[in-house]
Structure 1
Amino acid sequence: MEGLKKTPLFELHNKLGAKIVEFGGWAMPVQYSSILEEHRAVRERVGIFDVSHMGEISVRGRDAFDFLQYILTNNMGKLEPGKIVYSLMLYENGGTVDDFLVYQIGENDYLLVVNASNTEKDFNWIREHAHGFEVEVNNISSMYGEVAVQGPMAEVTLQKLTDFELGSIPYYEFRHNVMLLGIEVLISRTGYTGEDGFEVYMAPDKAGKLWEEIMEAGKEYGILPCGLGTRDTLRFEARMPLYGHELDENTTPLEAGLSFAVSFDKDFIGKDALLREKEDGLKKKLVGFEMVDKGIPRKDYEVYKDGAKIGYVTTGTHSPTLDKNIGLAYVKPDYAKIGEEFDIMIRGKANRAVVVKTPFYKRQA
């Protein structure tokens, strides 16, 4: 793990016996016990993740709102202090620079929480396009440690550590200056698992103490530390995109089924390309599929129909929740209808699959 960046919780992961892997330039835990056990803990009880590798970029100044309107696809007018919106940032050709969450901290003060592997790229892209706007852009990632507490028992677990009424935070909102056992945090009700849960941001030197306090508070509910392996199976069942899989510089939000995060009633970088795409029709479309044959699909496996290649798999695995082999794939739009059958090439052999409705998993409200 030499040369890799390490989160404030790295030594703690080693102590817990986590299997460490490289992810986006970081040394991160991929699993502690087993991906299956950790997955079930989050779906049924509560799990805690180290997400300190995520990037944080501050955009402040008189023109902050106008600037974000220009570089992001979603409408920043949906925001007010304490609210969060999901958005994408595009190249002129409509391809995706990144997808992330935007937190409005105050008037003309925004926090962008971006993908770890894209932090530097995003920061440079934002700075390059800030000319002509009165804004200050800073990469403040080193100022934060971050943990995600996810699952049906996430709220009761964290509530033990604070007098602040966590039930008062609606989904996709946050509060700052909340005290968890004397530690000041920013806490948001978001997540990447398909479950209820919270992301907790704190000073890096407080991360270890907070992790241990949350583990203690969640003990009676069967809390487990969870790694990147589980984070991936959970987000995938909930059909949440992962940059480098469902999104990249050659993929538009319309192809990825993310048009809800695109506001065409304003100007933004990449808008013209998306309008042309709407007019000309999509070249590919993201679909969910279930294997009819026994094979497990994996990223980059080719998709065929009647002997002709029609697409490729972006993510595939055995779903712990559904106990089925499922995947996401980009295919030509003609083959994207529910019930459509095609073949996934697994080790040179055609394995039948059928297009199904997504998300594969949706929690009961």
Structure 2
Amino acid sequence: MAIKQEIFQKTKRTCLYDKHLKLGAMMVEFGGFDMPLLYQSSILQEHKAVREHVGLFDVSHMGEVTVKGKDAERYVQHIFTNDIAGAPVGKIYYGMMCYENGGTVDDLLVYKMGENDFFLVINAANIDKDWAWMQEKAEGFDIDLQNRSDYYGQIAVQGPESEHTVEKVLGLECKELTFYTCKTVLVPHSTLHTPQEIIISRTGYTGEDGFEIYGSHEYINECWDKLIAAGVQACGLGCRDTLRFEVGLPLYGDELTQDITPIMAGLGMFVKLDKAEFIGKEALAKQKADGPAKKLVGIELFDKAIPRHGYTVLNMDGEPIGEVTTGYHTISSDKSVCMALVDAAYSKLDTEVQIQIRKKVFPGKVVKKQFYNKSYKK
């Protein structure tokens, strides 16, 4: 009992925790937080709601770090693989933070909020690690670096009806936002006489059009209540993973780790080697020039068996050549597919491979990592 209590006490809760219990969610530990896996519906129903209509996610477990000051842009350029030089206010960039050897610290979003003002969104499981690393790398820069993860709550409204839903239900104008742009909005505060500032961005992790909203815990709770009352489907981590997987989006800990570089993961387009410098540049430039020893690929099985994380990938001679990072029988395409990190020699499309699933071996072939076409609004 004492051990269970210790584990329970270490698990964090988002500002929407009570809302999940009220909706009958199945709760699981993820990234150090007690999060909804699914609600009283099913992963299938929640997945289809996002693909066909609109779904609502609690993503308040994500971390937020602000970087402001004279050297803010120079600092972000130093720790970030993408190039934000001269970025317009309101633009968002995806990229990675890397160790000197090219391994991935985390993948993240960088929001340009103003001149010398940046908003960084990092993964929940990495908040403490990232924050310590960012502080260490801030030496010598004239910046104000703050971890705001405890202040912000965050929801994601995702799906083809998301724009209409955000405008009609929440009263937030968002039509002018294009993919990977954001804005700040002053909204009324229910108890204070002064309005509060929120951030709304046209971003998401589902492959569908959608928005993410950052604000105080109180405001995010109000938004959640309005959306649920309007009939929007609450969606858990289960379909969040199936949705992101179908469109080939990586999950840190699976497709990106301290041992899996952005080049190995096929994310070289977000590594701007023509930048003057950034941490890990030399190692990543060498890896790109030489070619990585392993590459992340998609694999489609010819059978209905489901490949799972950690399962061994074999060549046709039965020799181990890699491991599955994520695998499902996809909801949208009705195929058994996975992403896997394999020896580069076996990464070419249509290469025949096998996957060891328990005591049996199932044949398949290398395919593109994107198993469903994205539907973003450009």
TM-score above 0.5, yes or no: yes
CA deviations 1:284-327 (Å, max 9, x no partner) are: 01111111123100001000011111100000011111111110
| Offset of residue 134 of structure 1 | 0.6
Tell me: CA distance 1:11–1:147, structure 2 relative to 1, closer, same or farther (3 Å): same
Q: Deviations over 1:341-361 (max 9, x none)?
A: 111100021111111123111
Cα separation, partners in 2 of 1:137 and 1:160, compared to 1, 3 Å? same
Q: How does 1:129-148 map to 2 (within 5 A)?
A: 129-148=137-156
Q: Extract unaligned runs of 5+ from structure 2.
A: 1-7, 191-195
Alignment pair present for 1:65 and 2:45: no
Runs of at least 4 residues of structure 1 off by over 3 A?
161-165, 178-184
Q: Deviations over 1:166-191 (max 9, x none)?
A: 11011100111254897752110000
Q: Does 1:342 align with 2:347?
A: no
Give me the whole-angstrom Cα distance separating, in 2, the residues matched to 1:156 and 1:92. 44
Matched, 1:311 2:318: no
Partner of 1:259: 268
The answer to whether the Cα contact below 8 Å between 1:78 and 1:85 also exists between their aligned partners in 2 is: no
The answer to whether the 8 A contact 1:36-1:230 is kept is yes
**Mapped partners of 1:358, 1:89: distance in 2:** 22
What is the rounded CA distance, in whole Å, between the counterparts of 2:47 and 2:156 in structure 1?
Answer: 14
Q: Which residue of 2 aligns with 1:167?
A: 175
The partner residue of 2:55 within 47, 57, 62 is: 47
Q: Which residue of 2 aligns with 1:7?
A: 14
Q: 1:181 to 1:196 in 2, by over 3 A?
A: farther
The answer for unaligned runs of 5 or more in structure 1 is: none
Q: Corresponding residue for 2:200?
A: 187
Match of 1:201 in 2: 214
After TM superposition, give the deviation of residue 364 of structure 1 in Å.
4.8
Structure 1 CA distance for aligned equivalents of residues 290 and 99 of structure 2: 19
- Give the 3-state SS of the residue equivalent to 2:208 in structure 1: coil
Q: 1:162: how far off?
A: 5.2
2:126 to 111, 118, 124: 118
- Counterpart of 1:155 in 2: which secondary structure? helix
Q: Taking structure 1 as the reference length, what is the TM-score of the superposition?
A: 0.96
Deviations along 1:221-261, one digit per CA (max 9) or x if unpaired, are xx310000110000000100000000000011011010111
For residues 228 and 171 of structure 2, the distance between their equivalents in structure 1, rounded to whole angstroms, comes to: 18
> Any residues of structure 2 matched to 1:76-115 within 5 Å, and which?
76-77=84-85, 79-115=87-123
Q: Distance in 2 between matches of 1:180 and 1:47?
A: 25
Q: CA 1:212–1:181 in 2, change beyond 3 Å: closer, same or farther?
A: farther
Q: Which moved more, 1:279-288 or 1:15-24?
A: 279-288
User: In structure 1, how many angstroms separate the alpha carbons of the residues matched to 2:207 and 2:363?
Assistant: 28
Match of 1:23 in 2: 30
Which position in structure 1 is the counterpart of 2:246? 237
SS in 2 for 1:11: helix
CA distance in 1, matches of 2:63, 2:172: 27
Decide whether the 8 Å contact of 1:52 with 1:145 is kept in 2: yes
Q: 2: CA distance between counterparts of 1:358 and 1:349?
A: 24
Which amino acid counterpart does residue 75 of structure 1 have in structure 2?
A: D
- 1:271 pairs, out of 281, 290, 308, with 281
Normalising by structure 2, what TM-score?
A: 0.92
Q: Distance in 2 between matches of 1:82 and 1:268?
A: 23
Q: Distance in 2 between matches of 1:315 and 1:278?
A: 24
TM-aligned CA distance change 1:184 to 1:270, over 3 Å: closer
Q: Secondary structure at the match of 1:312?
A: strand
Secondary structure in 2 matching 1:167: coil
The question of whether the paired residues in 1 share the 8 Å contact of 2:323 and 2:341 is answered with yes
Identity %: 50
Distance 2:59 2:344 in 1: 35
Cα RMSD (Å) of the superposition?
Answer: 1.5
Q: Which residue of 1 aligns with 2:46?
A: 38
SS at match of 2:238: helix
Distance 1:180 1:152 in 2: 28
Q: Is the 8 A contact 2:339 2:369 kept in 1?
A: no
Describe the shift of the 1:253–1:181 C-alpha distance in structure 2 as closer, same or farther (beyond 3 A): same
Q: Are the aligned partners of 2:353 and 2:365 in contact in 1 as well (CA < 8 Å)? A: yes
Cα contact 1:294–1:351 (8 A) shared by 2: no
| Cα distance per residue 1:22-81 (max 9 Å; x no partner) | 011100001002111100000000000000000001111100111111111100126221
**Further displaced range: 233-242 or 162-171:** 162-171
Contact 2:170 2:226 in 1 (8 A): no
**Partner residue in 1 for 2:374:** 363
| Residues 344 and 296 (structure 1), Cα distance of their counterparts in 2 relative to 1, 3 Å cut | same
C-alpha distance in 1, partners of 2:119/2:54? 27
Question: Which residue type is aligned with residue 82 of structure 1?
Answer: G
Deviation at residue 207 of structure 1 after TM alignment: 2.0
